[in-house]
Structures are given as structure tokens and as C-alpha cells.
Amino acid sequence: MKAAVFYGPRDIRIDQAADPKLKDATDAIVRVTHSCVCGSDLWSFRGMSDRKKKTVIGHEFIGIVEEIGAGVKKIKNGDFVISPFSRSDGICPECLAGISSSCRNGGYWGEGGYGACQAEFVRVPNSDHMLFKVPKNKTSKKLMPAFLALSDVLCTGYHAAVCAGVGKEKTVAVIGDGAVGLCAVLSSKFLGAKKIILLSTHPDRAKLGRKLGASDIVSARGEKAFKAVRKLTKDTGADCVLECVGTKESWKTAFKIVRKGGRIGWVGVPHDVAPINIGDVFGENVGIMGGRAPAASYIPKLLPHVLSGELSMSGDVFTKTIKLGDIQKGYEAMDKRREIKVLIKL
């Protein structure tokens, strides 16, 4: 099969890789129809995260079941399915508690003997738990981007909102105008937020943020952003801050714009983030909750709302579609922020 292979910083190539084979009775082989480039993939592309050379890359995909193991009961050949971006077993205490992304027997795609997902085929473990079937009469081309968003960024943006306690009458501030931040805006609207402030310095992303539900845009950073948010919230700060970046600067902003007694929901993969001084938040009664989104727990909750149209606009975060053979161009487009998120159509 063809697959996108990481050769080193800023060097992604298409190579021939071995076709995956069934190993366990609960495995399924999925033919990938759509994958994508994630913002977290860019950390390796930029040389800011270690990654073994000559390994297949990618962790988001949807596709069609080609083969199933003898122990698979819910999934059948020919089913169109959505897979979460991390592996889990569905039976450990963490999975049963709804935190499938912290599964004690799980892991990432591309490790532990499992392939990554910017490829033509993927072997999926625990497939009755890991694969979510889309009804045959709902597999329209128009919804494909939204189904793909469900594999990661929609669930991740939703996780930020849930962890921050977004709900009716809440004022929300979203830090980050990438695909996750924009999905956090959409999720906040879905959960009934009264006011949604998006911090964005890119006019095209701010425009999409408005479409997805942002009531206000703060096109500033640092101290200017802090003052703007405080002004929009009558010098109180936001009830819920959704941190969707993962840098020292974004965390500094989050602590400045959250109100006393407010909550920060964080999903930005942390890179070079300063240690949190617990003493600084103790007196402010600020809650902090988040981490890697449990997509396997969220997909069955959110899929009906994608099918109904309430969350189908999550697919709008894909601003460019490429073939697998153009993978290097796709990474470069996201790296240079020419595109929000790149969809790969196989």
C-alpha cells in the first residue's frame, strides 16, 4: 500500500508499505477513504518533537471496512466507519469511566505494532469498540469532512468546552484559531454559551469563527488581548477559557482572562510550557481540567448531531483537499498557515 512516511523535519514522502494483516480476532482492516494533516503532526514536521525516521505518520481517518476478525460482532465488511485518533480497549476502568484517551491498554497510531493513518489501509484493534458505523443512507459526500473532524478536532474542541464547564449563560473565551479552536467555538455554541470570544489575529480564521458561532473577535495578543477581553466582560473575565494552543504565551493569556471562580479547559498539546504555580490559582478559585480528548467516548454522543446538521459545520475547518501523493505540499500549506486544516482524499 501507499503511505506517507516521515523522513525527517520538513520531509514527508510517499512510500510503499506492507499491507496490514489481521492478527487478533477483534481486529478489522479499514480501507482509508479520507485522512488529514493535524496541527500536532506539525511538531514533528518542524523538528520540534522527536519522531523516528522512515515511519508512517497520521492519526485521523475514516473509511470502509474491508476485513474483520472472527471475534468481531458489531462491525461488518462494507461498513463506512469513523475511528478515534487514539487506540483504546473499551473495557479498562478508564474507558468505562469515559476517559478512553487514557486507556491503560491503549496508545497512539503508528506505535505498538499498529500503522499510522495517512495510508491506504489501517489495522484497527478492538474494532467493535474503536469503529463507529455511519448509517448507509447518511454517507453523503457533503458530510465527509464533518465525519473526519469527528475523528479528532471536533471531539477535541468539544472536550475543551466540557472541561471548562461551558453551558447556558456562560461567557467563553477561546484561545487558538486553528481547527481545534474553531471546533471549540462551534462546541461552545452547541452547548448554549451566551457569549463566545475568539482570540484570532488572522482575518480568514476570524471570519470562519464568526460563522461557527463567535460573537466577538479579539485580534490582539499579550497585554492588548487581556485588556480587550476584560473590556468585553465588564472587567470580570471569562467564565470559561478554552486553551487550544499549548504554548507558554497561550497559558499566560488563559490565566489573565479567566474570571475568579472560572475554569480553564485545556487541550493544546503542551510544548515548552512554564510550570503552573498552584499558589497563583488557589486564591482565585480557578479550575483547570483537560488533556487528550477521549474521542472514542465522544463520537457516539456527537455523531447524531453531525447527522442532524447541528455540528456538521465542523467540516468547514478543512480549507484544502489534496491527494495522498501531494502530502508534502499539504504539510507545507499548514506549516505556513496558508490553510487551516488539510484533508487527504484517497
Note whether 133 and 15 are same-domain residues.
Answer: yes
* Contact yes or no for 318/36 (Cβ under 8 A): yes
Note whether 202 and 278 are same-domain residues.
Answer: yes
pTM: 0.96
- The CATH number given to whatever domain includes residue 56 is 3.90.180.10
pLDDT in tens, the chain (346 residues): 999 999 999 999 999 999 999 999 999 999 999 999 999 999 999 998 889 999 999 999 999 999 999 999 999 999 999 999 999 999 999 999 999 999 999 999 998 889 999 999 999 999 999 999 999 999 999 999 999 999 999 999 999 999 999 999 999 999 999 999 999 999 999 999 999 999 999 999 999 999 999 999 999 988 999 999 999 999 999 999 999 999 999 999 999 999 999 999 999 988 878 788 888 789 899 999 999 999 999 999 999 999 999 999 999 999 999 999 999 999 999 999 999 999 999 9
| Closest listed residue to residue 302, CA positions, set 139, 151, 136, 120 | 151
- The CATH number given to whatever domain includes residue 278 is 3.40.50.720
E-strand ranges in the chain read: 2-8, 11-16, 28-37, 55-56, 61-68, 80-83, 86-87, 107-108, 121-124, 132-133, 171-175, 195-199, 216-218, 238-243, 258-266, 287-290, 318-323, 341-345
For 14, phi and psi rounded to 5 degrees? -95, 125
Note whether 212 and 285 are same-domain residues.
Answer: yes
**Number of domains into which the chain is organized:** 2
Contacts of 128 (CB under 8 A, 6+ apart): 26, 72, 73, 74, 75, 90
Note whether 112 and 181 are same-domain residues.
Answer: no
- Residues 195 and 234: their CA atoms lie apart, in Å, by 13
Check residue 190 and give its pLDDT.
98
Note whether 147 and 64 are same-domain residues.
Answer: yes
Domain end marker among 256, 274, 290: 290
Per-residue cell: 253: 493569556
Note whether 175 and 112 are same-domain residues.
Answer: no
Domain extent, residue 41, equals: 2-152+294-345
Identify the three-state secondary structure at position 330: helix
Count CA atoms within 13 Å of residue 232 on its CB side: 25
Contacts of 182 (CB under 8 A, 6+ apart): 157, 205, 208, 209, 212, 316, 317, 340
Note whether 133 and 260 are same-domain residues.
Answer: no
Note whether 68 and 164 are same-domain residues.
Answer: no
Note whether 142 and 199 are same-domain residues.
Answer: no
